Structure 1
């Protein structure tokens, strides 16, 4: 089956989510500097990074297919937490999230035929209190190593989550409601 779009991401979770809604796609990961600018607001940050990913991907391929990119960040106390560098960093991140609410910002960027559309999803997640030992054991599973906020909502960390308000798929890394709306702008209907 021929691809309907190019996903500018190496994330297997984003690819799985697109498959979940029946979107055939090719994957073309791009490498950009994802360092936040000093004082950059979380929404502006994820929107900028998603837009840069889609722009770089669109410029590096000669396909006429639409290009979809996304960026997701975990925010606590207004601070972008990022991905953990090591066990100590994961302990710091997950201890900060323990027993508290935090936000997950997920931006989607779609480029097609000279047009650019973006959408933003913001979800609120509450963790139950976590012990130091739980955090260490969780790290040892390998799951949090490459995840924003040092956790995967769809994995083992699901047992940490007391509540979520917003988009489960957005917390995973690709908000499907917003993605489907953007795809319809490019003439790709999810349910046909």
Structure 2
């Protein structure tokens, strides 16, 4: 549990749940996010998630500076972005059920990786950011080869919505296996890395 107040720059229920389960008290200030790419390859996944996490932090900083939200003294602002990468192709959040199906067929029978860019910064009473720390977590997973009926069943559940790569490790589907790295990173917020980054700010 952090000894300093936290602001989470995210509307993600998965990220909020992970923070609560770790015992943190925090405020939620979602960034004003535009349309996110679902499949893109303009840059590498590490560069993409760090850039997007920093953009989220800066967006929330601007909201805090211009809004009525009371900023706790000495607080830390947390922003994170997560994508999956398979065969060099970056998979963000699917735009539709058909898009999600395309992603799941691509991931079926493969080893792939999940990248999270994590930004932690001090935020003063005016919303100004300082001491911005940016780091990356990478987890590796393997997905069983799926039958079309398995994919159709998962798509019908709606569990793919809002999840990078159209799949949630927390859904415990039984055909997605963590090989290496942080489980919480795959869910959307690398808690082990976050704990180290927060601790470094508290020294």
1:39 equivalent in structure 2? 42
Does residue 101 of the first structure (1) align with residue 111 of the second (2)?
Answer: yes
Contact 2:118 2:135 in 1 (8 A): yes
Over aligned residues, Cα RMSD in angstroms? Answer: 2.0
Q: Deviations over 1:122-180 (max 9, x none)?
A: 111000111111111101111002111001100143x1113431110000000011101
Match of 1:68 in 2: 78
How far, CA to CA, are the matches of 1:172 and 1:163 in structure 2?
11
**Distance of aligned partners of 1:186 and 1:41 in 2 relative to their CA distance in 1, 3 Å threshold:** same
Q: Using a 3 Å threshold, how does the CA distance of structure 1 residues 163 and 109 change in structure 2: closer, same or farther?
A: closer
* Contact preservation (8 Å) 2:41, 2:89: no
Question: Where does residue 9 of structure 2 map in the other structure?
Answer: 8
Q: Contact between 1:5 and 1:26, CA under 8 Å: does it hold in 2?
A: yes
Alpha carbons 1:94, 1:150 under 8 Å: kept: yes
* Structure-2 change in CA distance of 1:22 and 1:172 (3 Å): same
Contact 2:115 2:139 in 1 (8 A): yes
The alpha carbon displacement at 1:92 in A equals 1.1
TM-score (normalised: structure 2): 0.85
2:179 is the counterpart of 1:164: yes
| TM-score, normalised by the number of residues in structure 1 | 0.90
Q: Deviations over 1:7-64 (max 9, x none)?
A: 0000011111111221110101012344498631110000000011011112211524
Q: Are the aligned partners of 1:138 and 1:144 in contact in 2 as well (CA < 8 Å)?
A: yes
Query: Would you say how many aligned residue pairs link Structure 1 and Structure 2?
Result: 186
Q: Which sections of structure 1, spanning at least 5 residues, go unmatched?
A: none
Matching of residue 134 in structure 1 with residue 150 in structure 2: yes
Equivalent residue for 1:83, pick from 86, 89, 93: 93
Pair 1:122 & 2:138 matched = yes
Q: In 1, are the aligned partners of 2:120 and 2:133 still within 8 Å (CA)?
A: yes
